[in-house]
Amino acid sequence: MEKREPARDIARKLHGASFEELGALEELYRDDSRKQVQDALARADRRHEKEAAERERVEQMYALQEELGGPGLVIGVDEVGRGAIAGPLTVGAVILPADPKIWGLNDSKQLTPEKREVLAAEIADVAIAIGMAHIPPETIDALGMSACLRRAMAEAIASCGVEPDCVLIDGNPVHVHPKEKTLVKGDARIAAIAAASIVAKVTRDHLMCELAEEYPAYGWDACKGYGSKEHIDAIRKYGLTPYHRASFCSNFVEGTRLF
């Protein structure tokens, strides 16, 4: 009698299989009646079903992008840091090819920091072009957020270095490009906008961690410049730094004393 493959080896194989490998492995071991194998198959089935649904979600993001932007060069644009009280306003702009698709794309706020890092690296490998723009706090104080948002988006689009056939922007109309189209919650619905959201978030988070080394009292490595209790308490104790948006801090700090 031919010796059967150990059940624990089959379970390990099913657990470590990629999405592309799972179907064939499930078919191969489906008739193995051992409980350990059947339990592993059940887990594999659930994982395969969940991943298939996730891939369908991402496929729809690419399909809607083509529907709205057409088959040419489509730049997705998104911002991060608009509501922060310290650090820059950052805008990312990304052009993605139709293939290979980047599985897992989503609004950056829906992803863990670890997943954002993984996806940002994949976007960097796959993207046709990536543009980035930062608007510093003093400019935000001088010009206001609306003007700075338009400036940052225009700079990020230009830094892609190509003339797009369409520019898809998350949110409401910005009037920053003649080929602009906007979509509310576009960062969760359009592949290139999601990619822009991710690279902008990762880039700005890295910058805020670097600034936290210069001004450690404010906890920017944790709050990324947003108004956490610890951040506001530090402002009240130490005052504002050159990286604070003074116009955003008037409700809870007197004066502009620097650290």
> Is 74 found in the same domain as 57?
no
- CATH value at residue 179: 3.30.420.10
> Is 109 found in the same domain as 38?
no
Four-residue CA torsion sign, 18, 19, 24, 30:
positive
User: Could you tell me which residues come within 8 angstroms of residue 197 by beta carbon, excluding any fewer than 6 positions away?
Assistant: 78, 80, 92, 107, 108, 109, 170, 187
Residue 228 lies in a domain: no
> Is 127 found in the same domain as 23?
no
Total-model pTM: 0.87
Q: Which domain holds residue 35?
A: 7-66
CB 95 within 8 A of CB 163: no
CB count within 10 Å of CB 214 equals 12
The predicted structure's pLDDT at residue 256? 47
> Is 74 found in the same domain as 54?
no
pLDDT along the chain (259 residues), means of 10: 81 88 88 91 90 94 96 96 97 97 95 97 98 98 97 98 96 95 96 98 98 97 96 94 94 58
Distance spanning both ends of the chain, measured CA to CA: 79
The predicted structure's pLDDT at residue 18? 85
The predicted structure's pLDDT at residue 23? 84
The predicted structure's pLDDT at residue 252? 75
**Preceding omega of 100 cis (within 30 degrees of 0):** yes
Q: What is the pLDDT of residues 209-258, one digit of tens each?
A: 999 999 999 999 999 999 999 999 999 999 999 999 999 998 877 654 44
Measured CA to CA, the distance from residue 218 to residue 214 in angstroms comes to 10
